[in-house]
Each structure stands twice: as C-alpha cells, then as structure tokens.
Structure 1
C-alpha cells in the first residue's frame, strides 16, 4: 500500500493528496483546482513572537547624542522610552541602579534597572493618555527564560522596589502572563509608541 499525505492549498483551501518522495519539495506541487502552489508552512502567533524577539535582539545599540552624551542604549525601544521621559520633562537615570543577588551559586548575580524616574509631574502629562510616574521602568522586548529568572530573583530579594517597578513589554501572551503571575505592573511598548511617536522627531523604528 502506498503511503499518502496531504497538503492544503493556501489560496482555495483544497486538500491535495501526494506521495512523499515523488515530490521532493512542496513547491513542486500545483493545486489542480486553482493552479496555485500551496505551502506546507503555517504561520503561528508563536512564530510571530519569535520573529519579534529576533528582531529586537539584532537591533543596533549605541549612544544617541540627541538624548545623552554617554548613555549606551541597547535597543531603539530603550532609546525611545528615554525620549519620552525627555518630552515630559521627567527626572530620570539610565542603568544607574544595581540590585545584587547574594547567596546564589548560579547566575544571575545582579540586576541593573533600565530606568529610574525620580520625578514626573502630572502637569506635564495632562495631554497624554498614558501617564508615567516616580518608579523604576524595565524595557523588555522579549521575555526569555533568562529575563524571567532575573525578574523572579529581583522580586524575591527586593519586594518593595519590585512593587514600584513597571515593565514596558511586547504585546504577547507570555510576557503578560509572567507579569500578572509575578505581580509586576506593566504597559505595552506599542501603546507608548502610538501616542508619542508623532511627537518625537528622532523616534526610531517604523
């Protein structure tokens, strides 16, 4: 008996039966009904999240002279958040606060906070739907296992500071679930971008 498998036409959704080995690649198969070449790959939300994480990891780090002469931002997300703080005339510091994890035999042994905002006047933000406050802010484009482990240790060892920490995250279920389960407050980066990008000439990103 010949083993057959099937592939779905991406255009007309017709099921096409074929014999593996006869066609080396799915691109050699043509739908009889509509003439399209179907694809065996199905794009999922998880693959979209992975793509976003990959893009975030490859972005250019460096000094942005329009923000600060010495601060080294690792991503456009961090740089853009700093530009927002400048726009609302907040008093802030970048990577100036270090939290040490003592009595651990494995890494991470410390956590360096992205931003500490020590002053953010409501009067400077009255025209914006999103409000920033006196708090710690951590920008997370991708909530990978290493980041989650670091945030858990931070929460356990510095509960008071963690309660005053706001995560700026990508809009994906994994990041949201982690923040809600761990008790971290959060906002979505793309909500910040939607509001402030038109107001900031040097905003990075599409």
Structure 2
C-alpha cells in the first residue's frame, strides 16, 4: 500500500476500514481538585469522602485544612455519573473554598495510586506480503508472537490487494513510539526503516483514531530496506546487513544509525558506531552531498575515527566472508566501478607547462601527500615523468587517501580536460590483492 496524499488516504481508511472496528477501551473523567475548609467542618467532609470512596490528601493548618482529592468516574457509565452527581450535591452542603482543579498530566499522575489508567491498544495494518518480516520485528521488539487477521479489500489507487492486521496490547504501548533499547523511534521507527508500509488504528479513551504516516518513496534507490532477523535490525542495504554480520562474526559490538551529527552541509547519520570511538560509513555510491558531509566530518571531528567502506573495500570484505558467515547476502553490485574525479590546482604557474601536454586518454598517477601543510589527506596527481599536475579535489581526497593508505592502487586516465580542471577516470587496479582495514582482520 502507499499514498502520496496522506489526508485522502486517511479518509479512505475511516470510510472503509475503521468503521468495522469498535473501541474496547474506557474513557474516565478525572480531575484532582484542591479545596480549603475550616477545621470544624473537616470531619463532615471526610465522612462524605469515605462514603463515596474518594481518595484524598490533607494538609492541616491552625484553623483551616487544605485538601486535594481525586474525582474520577467512567464517562459512559450512567451509574457512575449519577453517583458523582450525588457526591457533588452533598459537597454543596459543605462550606469550603474552591482553590483549583487540575487535569491529569505527567506532573500529577503519580499523586494518587487509586488513579485509574485507561488501557489502550494499537491495531497495525500491513500488506499481506510483509507478514513474515513484521512477525520477526514484533518478536524482536516486544518478545511476543503476533497473530495476524486478514482483511479482503483492494484498491488500485492505494496499491492495496488484501491487508493483514494485528494488535499491540496495552502493556507494550510505550515501546511503539520510544525505546532506546531497540531504536531511537521505537517499533514505528523499525517498521519505517524496514521499508514496511502501514497505518494504525489507535484505540484510547473509548474512541478510535486513524494514524497514517508513509515515508516518501525514493524510486532511484536500489537498496534492499528490510528487517534482518539474524542480526535483529533493519538495514537500508544488503551491504550494511552483511557488514553487521561480519561485526558479529568478529565479536565487534556495534550500534546502527545511533545518532545524527550536525555538519555545515546538513545532518549526517553515520551507519555504524563501534565501542572504540570508530564510525563506519558504508557507501555504494558517493553522491555530492555524502562527499561533503564525510569530508567535513573527517576535517572537523577529532573524537572519532571514520572508516569508509565503498565498492573498492567492500569487494574484499564480500569475498573474504561470503562463504564463512551464515545468511550472508549474495550481491552482484559489489564489484569496483570507475569514478570520475576532478583534478584541481592545474592553473598554478609551475604546473602549467606540464598540464599543457596532457591529453584525453593519457595515464596519470596518484601519490599520497600526508605531510601537506594544508591537508593531511592530500593526493598529488603526477604524469608519467612524475611531474606534478595538480591535486585530487578535497572532498574526494578524504575518500581516496583512506583507501590508498590501506594499500589500494588505482589506474587513472584523463577523461576530460577543461581550463581549470581535469576530470579523470579512477578505477582500482590491484583486485588480485586482498585489502582489508585492520578491524576486519
């Protein structure tokens, strides 16, 4: 199921689905009332409280007493409403000063242990094809075996061809939206991150409301977002899931997408956080925004070290562990591919005489320059005679310096020559060697 227009979909659910369900919860009318009374009237008042089993607390002074009492009854129960009316009529005959009335909130909900808490339940609706994934997620989050009911319903517009629904009972309700143990956004967060489309009927205080929140679809994304039962987490790609399996195999503790880091290029959400202040970023494709955020992180954050796993490094991780670790996901997209990378600084006077001789199709070479006073990640680009042509642009240098320092080698070919930049094709050349970061050895 899916809907771009969520308000319209919500109305569809109200008209066609929610009407078939009835509330199984109760609504209580509840207030904490505070009054002041002269001490000589106190016994009469307490007699009324005891007659109607009203919980109260007193604070006695020299001539007066302040009393806080809990007024509560089930709103739909006629007998309870009549009983409350009789109580108020008797209170009318007592001379007291009304101070205030408070609705129940987080500030006062623990003041009276007699406070009745209305039970609540949430009914989740999913596509029938997602039953097994959701069953695994529910078992992981709540520790219960979910029972699915099926609904025969179809709607081409909203991509509905039969629905399954299940109930999360009251005792597990807090973990639906918030549980640091499992996910920063609880069960709902795991469902979203696992690529499961769903909507909810929320039953509380005697009424049912419809809750719809679809995540925008990314039609350009080819990764496989789903919950992996063997590693007990949703992942956005098979690569990330396999890296988690490798960590488990090597007994490395990890957290997935633990928190955001604010950069000058926007919020950055690293993939894996390890216990020894290491962060792992898994990237199948280096888009411009990702390069900027990673470059900013490396150059500005000193408390963590960032390890980058892209196609050049995942290739060896995949081949090293695919036959060793159970449930390792097969993936045909793990082979290294060419990147087009800009060479900058080619207009510097002492380099121009060498740049002028460069043509499309020429081979160039990458040389690390870790002692560069401006950038420790600097990578020189030289010609066949080792003449300095320029530097790999800064945001790409962060990525390639890490891989070159591990021992990866590259074939570099001029792809396009412009007045201020040379675009080169870069592809890994030593695939016969197994190159792994020490953490994977």
Structure whose residues are more often helix by fraction:
1
Structure whose residues are more often strand by fraction:
2
Structure 1 length as normaliser, TM-score? 0.50
- Rg (Cα) greater in structure: 2
Task: Tell me: higher relative CO, structure 1 or 2? Use CA pairs within 8 A at least 6 residues apart.
Answer: 1
